[in-house]
Structures are given as C-alpha cells and as structure tokens.
A and B are shown apart, each in its own frame.
Chain A
Amino acid sequence: MTAQITQTAQVAPRGKPSLVDGWRDASTEAMRHLRILPRNPELIGFATIQPVMFVLLFVYVFGGAIQVPGFADYNQFLIPGIFAQTIVFGSSFTAVGLADDLSKGLVDRLRSLPIARSAVLIGRTFSDIARNALTFAIMLIVAFLIGFRFEGSLLGALGGTALMLAFSYSFSWIQAFVGLSVGSVEAANAASFIWMFPITFVSSAFVDPNSMPSWLQPVAEHNPFTRLANSARALYNGIDAGSNLWWCLFWIAAITVVFATLSIRKFSRVAG
C-alpha cells in the first residue's frame, strides 16, 4: 500500500465569486497590465509618440488649409477631434494584447483559476483608462505648447476629457471582442485598426460634415464618433453641446453594455 499524503488546498473552495471577489480579481488583472506597461517600449512609444505626432501633423499640415464656419481658429476646432481620435485609436491595444495572451496560453491559465470570468476583461479595460490618461496628458501638453486653450469652464474641460476617456473605454470592449475573435496577434493588429479609420474620419472630428458629399453627410452626422467630437469640442470651447452630449452618453452606455456582454460570453468559452 502506498501512503497517501493528503494535501489540503490553502484556499477554501469558492462558489460563484462575490462582487467583492470580482473587483479584487479585476484589480489584480489591472495591476498586471499597469506593471508591465513601462516594460513594453513598443507600447510606451505608441502611447506617447503617436499622440504627439498626430497633434503636430494635423495642426501644421491641415491647420492652415481648412476653414470651419463658427471657428476663427481652426485649431480650436481641430484639437478636440484629434484628442478623440487618438484616444479611441489607443483602444486597439486591448485587441492586440488579448490576442497575445490568448496565443501564449495565458488566457487558458487565467480561465483555469477560480476567478470571475468577467474580472480578467474588466481589469484589462480598466488598465486601458490609465494608459489613455497618460496619452491624454501628453497630448494636452503638446496642444498647449502650440497655442490651444480651453475657452470654456474648468468643468467643461474636465467633462470633455472624461467623456473622451469614457468613449474610448466603450471601444476597449469592442476591441476585447475583436481580440478574442481573431486567431492571431497579426490578425488582431489589422482587425483592431482598419475600421477605426472610416469611423473617425467620416465624422465631424476634422471638418464640418456639411463640406462632405451629400450622400455622406447623414452618415457623418449620425456617426457616434461625431457625437463625441461635437460634445468634446463644445465642452472645451464653452459652447452649448445640445443633444450631442446625450447622444454621446447613450452610445458609450450602449456600446459598453453590448460589447461587454458579448466579450465576457466569448471569454468564457473561447477556443472551446
């Protein structure tokens, strides 16, 4: 007979994770991403150099050529749009990072742990907000150096910034779904990026939609990204945002709810 050593698990078995456990696990996952962020030169470069480049290129290349009704200084019109685009582009890291974790078996490891299924994705998307805040700070500094000013209230400046971060957060959930759906990091790179070009350009971010061909105008006007650009611009410049703000909040909530549900469901049975 062989003697059997009974090993008792150190951790009591858990049933369905409680909300408190869920937050704890999500913050552990967020911590993982934030801790490795400074160790990833590629990511840091992209999160810092790209925004500087975008602001400078758009302002100096297009800045002098475009007139927008109602704005004496095109930069006051343009810069909130660039902020919005850059911050939304940043969401593609979620797709690429998740695809990477998936291909390396890390997702399997996490799925074999007694943690809430939602915690992994919530933690990752939360860490995106922190990274986006860093990107935002850099863009603000550059914009201020080249003459951009908040024309509205402090509340408007903070509100506009928060709105862009929240919008980008909702896009992180789209990207989580993309990252879990494509097969490889390379595919995630393409699939996370390409569709964001029409969304951000066929909008009011850079030009007045009235200058577009008539068939394109309704598309640009109803584009959720136009709502964001209009709201951020209004809040930054002390103009009434009107219904744009409500539309923007609606889109943030709708995109988050739909894609968080889809992503968490996908995560639970990914590769299954």
Chain B
Amino acid sequence: MDAVAAHGLVKHYGETKALDGLDLNVPAGTVLGLLGPNGAGKTTAVRVLTTLLVPDAGSAFIDGVDVIADPQTVRGRIGLTGQYAAVEERMTGRENLELIGRYFHMNKGTRSARATELLERFDLVEAADRVATTYSGGMRRRLDIAMSLVARPTVLFLDEPTTGLDPRSRIGMWGVIEELGADGTTVVLTTQYLEEADQLADNVVVIDRGVKIAEGSVDELKDRIGGDRISVSIARAENIDLARSALAGLVTGAIEVDPESATTLTGPIRAGGGVLPEAIRALDEAGAEVVDVEVRRPTLDDVFLTLTGRRTEADGEEVPA
C-alpha cells in the first residue's frame, strides 16, 4: 500500500489554480521529492495532505486513512515541518520537544526519553536547555524537524526544508534527511532545487501550475532533460548566429538564447568532459568573441525549459501560505 495516495486534487483560489488535478503516489519507506518553482502548488499539496486545507475536489489517503473524512487519525500519523521553523522561540529545545509529547498524550517518562533521544540524534544536546531564540537558523530547522518526529510519524512532510539556510547548514540538513530515508520513514519533501531532489529523493514528481508534468527517478528525469549544460556569453548580439552554428555540432539538444541579453546561449551537452575546450575552439574559429563560457549541472530551470518549453516564473504568484 502506498503511504501517500492522492488523486485529482483541485484547489482554486479565485483565478489562481493552486492545484488543478494533482495525482501523487508515494510507496511506503521512500522519499519523494516534489519539485517545482514558486507558486507551482507544492505547498498547497502539502497543506491538503496534512489536513490543513480541504481540497475543492479529489481524494487523498495517508497510510490508507482518508485525509478528508478522517483528518484526526491522519494527524496522528504524520509529521509536518512547514516553510518556517515553527518552534516556540521562548522555550528551550527540550521544552519544545516535550510540549509536542504532551500534545500526543505521552506520559512524562516517555516524552522526556523521546526528547533526549531526538536531541542526541539532531545534534542539539548542548543547546538542549537554551531558549530557541539563541539558536542559529540550522539549529532551529533541526529542532523543527525533531518536533515533527516526536510521535514517530509514518509519513513526514518537509516543505522546503533548506530554504533560507546557508550552504553549510543546507549540507547538514541533507544529512539529517538522508538518515530519515535510511530509517524507513516515508518522506515527502518539496524543493525548488534539482540538486536537492537528486541528493535526497528516490523519486521525483515535477509539478507546474498545480499538475504533475513529470515523474520518475532522478536519473530518469535527467535522461529526459539531457546531461550537463553549456552556457556561452558573447560580446555582440549580431554574432549570435555565428555562435549558434559553432555550437550546433557539440550540443545534444536545442540551443536556447536568453531573450533578455540576446548574447547568452545555453544547450545540453553529453556527459563526460572534453566539450569545453572544443566549444571554445569552435567559437573562436567562428569569430564569435566569447566573453564567458560555463559548463554546469542542469537546474530546475533547465528541467522546466525541456518539459514545458518555458522558463520557471521566478516571480510567479505565491500561493497563500
């Protein structure tokens, strides 16, 4: 049985279609990466699955329990870490964890033991008796996730768990999430970063405008969008066709010209090195006056371009939080 099974979820806010018929299936014990740009409907999907929001249409089951008909039972089986680190700032780490234990009606001994266990696991032992106002962003996030795990949920939802963290804390958080996956907890995590999904998720669902536009393992997704990307900037826009034909023999797919600058070209290249020197040579021979060349891993933007033919709308409408 799937730990999460959702079918045809719809949620509209006036003209905005936050969810427009979303299907999701997450096998028990796996990590699903829900990938999409801002406003794609990721948070709305999480809110529906965690009983915070009733959908306009569709059905959803957690661990076989109907989210709409029996939300209270669902709440006993899920953990939610939202976009903000939702900790009681004026309480200590330990008090925060014990507070959740109290809400789950654990007795004093159990909630204290569970708090100790989680403090150790999330590297918060030293900070256990300090109020959370003194915590760093990464520590707050770890406490936040620990709070979601107090009652040993079957399914854990993490809504953009690394947003707002510095690169070092982000890597630390990845370690935490990887461990959860290794434990057999089913995890649904939303992210805007392909790299993050690549690192953490067994399967990825790409959503756009409230619907699923791709699904599969990260490797499958990467096969679909091609390997790395080469990005070339040239000095003058009138040389763009020269540059394009110079690169044509090296790329494995369509070359995109950045519509704003009209001097930057991007295209997928085959995996494995060697392309960069070839590209520079070809561009030089064509007389394209190269300013900058870069080979990089594909981003969510590239995924989107390949799947939908358009770029992510970074300034897209934010779904009500």
Give A contacts to B, CB under 8 Å: 2-17, 21, 24-25, 28, 31-32, 35-36, 39-40, 103-106, 108-115, 269, 271-272
Contact residues on B (Cβ < 8 Å of other chain), bracket: 35 or more
| Count of inter-chain pairs, beta carbons less than 8 A | 110
A28 to B153, CA, bound (A): 21
**Nearest 10 pairs of A and B residues by beta carbon:** A5-B184, A105-B86, A105-B84, A36-B90, A114-B75, A13-B73, A4-B29, A109-B86, A114-B76, A112-B80
Determine whether the beta carbon of B72 is less than 8 Å from that of A15: yes
Determine whether the beta carbon of A28 is less than 8 Å from that of B103: yes
Known contacts A5-B29, A9-B152, A10-B104: does B320 contact A109 (CB below 8 Å)? no
A9 to B89, CA, bound (A): 27
A1 to B154, CA, bound (A): 20
B38 in contact (CB, < 8 A): no
A35 to B99, CA, bound (A): 11
Q: Which residue of B lies closest to A269 (CB)?
A: B54
Which residues on the B side are within 8 Å of A32 (C-beta)?
Answer: 88, 91, 99
B28 in contact (CB, < 8 A): yes
Determine whether the beta carbon of B75 is less than 8 Å from that of A4: no
The main secondary structure of chain A at its interface with chain B is loop
Determine whether the beta carbon of B147 is less than 8 Å from that of A4: no
0/1 string, B105-117, CB within 8 A of A gives 1: 1100010000000
Determine whether the beta carbon of B83 is less than 8 Å from that of A24: no
The main secondary structure of chain B at its interface with chain A is loop
Determine whether the beta carbon of B151 is less than 8 Å from that of A11: yes
Q: Which residue of B lies closest to A36 (CB)?
A: B90
Give B contacts to A, CB under 8 Å: 28-29, 47, 50-54, 65, 70, 72-73, 75-78, 80, 82-91, 95, 99-100, 102-106, 110, 131, 147, 151-154, 183-185, 320-321
A24 to B73, CA, bound (A): 18
A190 to B131, CA, bound (A): 29
User: Which listed residue, B53, B76, B88, B110, touches A36 by the CB 8 Å rule?
Assistant: B88
Determine whether the beta carbon of B91 is less than 8 Å from that of A9: no
Determine whether the beta carbon of B76 is less than 8 Å from that of A9: yes
Determine whether the beta carbon of B86 is less than 8 Å from that of A14: no
A12 to B75, CA, bound (A): 11
20 contacts between A and B (CB under 8 A): A2-B29, A5-B184, A7-B152, A9-B152, A10-B110, A15-B72, A17-B72, A24-B105, A32-B91, A35-B91, A36-B90, A40-B90, A105-B84, A105-B85, A110-B103, A112-B51, A113-B75, A115-B103, A272-B47, A272-B52
